[in-house]
Amino acid sequence: MTPAGPRKVAASSAALAGLSLVLAACSSGADPADYPDDDIDVIVPFSAGGPTDTVTRMIAEPMSEDLGVQLVVQNIDGAGGTVGAGQAATSDPDGYTVLMHHIGMSTAPALYEDLAYDPIADFKPVGLVTEVPMTIIASSDFEPETFEEFVTYVQENADTVTMAHAGEGSASNLCGLLLTDALGVEVTAVPYDGTGPAMAELVGGQVDFMCDQTTNTTGQITAGEVKAYAATTPERIEALPDLPTTTEGGQPDIQVSVWHGLYVPVETPDEVVSQLTDSLQVALADEKVIDQMADLGTAPVSEEQATPEAHATLLEEQTATWADIIGSGQGG
Q: How many CB atoms lie within 10 A of CB 273?
A: 21
Position 170 contacts ligand MLT (CB under 6 A): yes
User: Which of 214, 245 has the CB closer to ligand MLT?
Assistant: 214
Q: Are strands 162-165 and 188-191 parallel, antiparallel or unpaired?
A: parallel
Contacts (Cβ under 8 Å, ≥6 apart) of 27: none
User: Which of 172, 298 has the CB closer to ligand MLT?
Assistant: 172
Pick the binder of ligand MLT from 62, 196, 265, 300 (CB under 6 A).
196
* 227: DSSP letter: E
* 288: DSSP letter: H
SS3 state of residue 41? strand
User: Which of 213, 319 has the CB closer to ligand MLT?
Assistant: 213
User: Which of 48, 272 has the CB closer to ligand MLT?
Assistant: 48
Long-range contacts, stretch 6-9, CB < 8 angstroms, 24+ apart: none
Residue 12 main-chain phi, psi, to 5 deg: -75, -30
Q: Are strands 97-102 and 209-213 parallel, antiparallel or unpaired?
A: unpaired
User: Which of 47, 275 has the CB closer to ligand MLT?
Assistant: 47
Min CB(134)–ligand MLT separation in Å: 9
Pick the binder of ligand MLT from 30, 42, 51, 257 (CB under 6 A).
51
User: Which of 89, 163 has the CB closer to ligand MLT?
Assistant: 163
Position 144 contacts ligand MLT (CB under 6 A): no
Position 195 contacts ligand MLT (CB under 6 A): yes
| Span near ligand MLT by CB under 6 A; candidates 42-50, 145-153, 272-280, 301-309 | 42-50
Q: Are strands 40-44 and 257-265 parallel, antiparallel or unpaired?
A: unpaired
Residues 189 and 186: their CA atoms lie apart, in Å, by 9
Pick the binder of ligand MLT from 194, 261, 297, 300 (CB under 6 A).
194
Which residues form the interface with ligand MLT (CB under 6 A)? 46-47, 50-53, 104, 166, 170-172, 194-196, 212-213
